[in-house]
Each structure stands twice: as C-alpha cells, then as structure tokens.
Amino acid sequence: MTICRGFRQGANVVALALLVLAIGCFALPAWAEYADVVLNKRAEKEGVRPVVFPHWFHRIRFRCKVCHAELGFKMRVGANDVLMSDIIDGKFCGACHNNEIAWGPERCDLCHTGKPGLPSGIYGGHETGGPGRW
C-alpha cells in the first residue's frame, strides 16, 4: 500500500535527491550525449575499441519496443551477451545491421569508436544510481 508516507520521510527523500543529483554534477567522467551506452564486456580484451551505442540516434528511427520487446534487448547495461558471431548471424545489432535495414557488420569502424579503457555503462549525465551502475 502506498498510504503511510509521512512528511519526515519526504524531507529525507528531498535531501537524498539533491545529494544524488549534486554528485551526478561533479563526479561524472564524461559529457557524452544523454543515454549513450558503452558496450565493453569483451571488445577491448579481444583487441578492438569499445562500442558506443547512441540511443538518441536510434530512437529517432525506432521506438523502444522494437529493440526492447520485439528484438529482446534487456533494459540493463551489460545484461545482453553480445558476441560478434551473433551479430553476423543477425542477432542483437545484427537484426538491423545486416546491409538491409542498415549497413552491415563489416563496417567495424562505425561501431567500435569508444575510448579505450571505458567500462560498460550508460553515460551522459543526469544520472541516478541507475541499473547500469550495478
């Protein structure tokens, strides 16, 4: 039930909210466009640059449900185990990056553009302790 929310708890939450947002302002490593995702579970270990996935670019062309319902991308950074062999087989990014809907998997340079050393995560500020942080 959502009933017993006293004022004191409310005040604490406001303080917490301001603290979290203040930390967000000062501690962020990067100024990426909001909602950019870095995928780097294996890329750098395997000798290529991390991948940068821009949400802003894709949501102009596709609704969230295309990737997160129809294609089954889990909404949590790092929760999808993306292998290059899967992409070439038409899974994950390869469902579109197949030279049909968009350019194909041979264009390594367009996806592997991340700064070396960046951990997987969601970037771009206004952050909370979001799922990508865990």
Site for ligand HEC in 23-52 (CB under 6 A): 37, 39-43, 46, 48, 51
Enter the DSSP assignment of 29.
S
**Could you give the 3-state DSSP secondary structure of residue 97?**
strand
Q: Which is nearer to other proteins, 13 or 83 (CB)?
A: 13
Q: Which is nearer to ligand HEC, 32 or 97 (CB)?
A: 97
CB of 97 to ligand HEC, least distance (A): 4
Question: Binding partner of residue 99 among other proteins, ligand HEC, none, CB under 5 to 8 Å per kind?
Answer: none
Q: Which is nearer to ligand HEC, 32 or 53 (CB)?
A: 53
Q: How far apart are CA 45 and CA 60, in angstroms?
A: 32
Question: Binding partner of residue 93 among ligand HEC, other proteins, none, CB under 5 to 8 Å per kind?
Answer: ligand HEC
Question: Residue holding tokens 């942080």?
Answer: 133
**Could you give the 3-state DSSP secondary structure of residue 83?**
coil
φ, ψ of residue 65 in degrees (nearest 5):
-65, -25
Q: Which is nearer to other proteins, 81 or 133 (CB)?
A: 133
Site for ligand HEC in 100-119 (CB under 6 A): 101-103, 105-108, 110-112
In this structure, how many other beta carbons lie within 10 angstroms of the beta carbon of residue 108? 12
Amino acid identity, residue 48? V
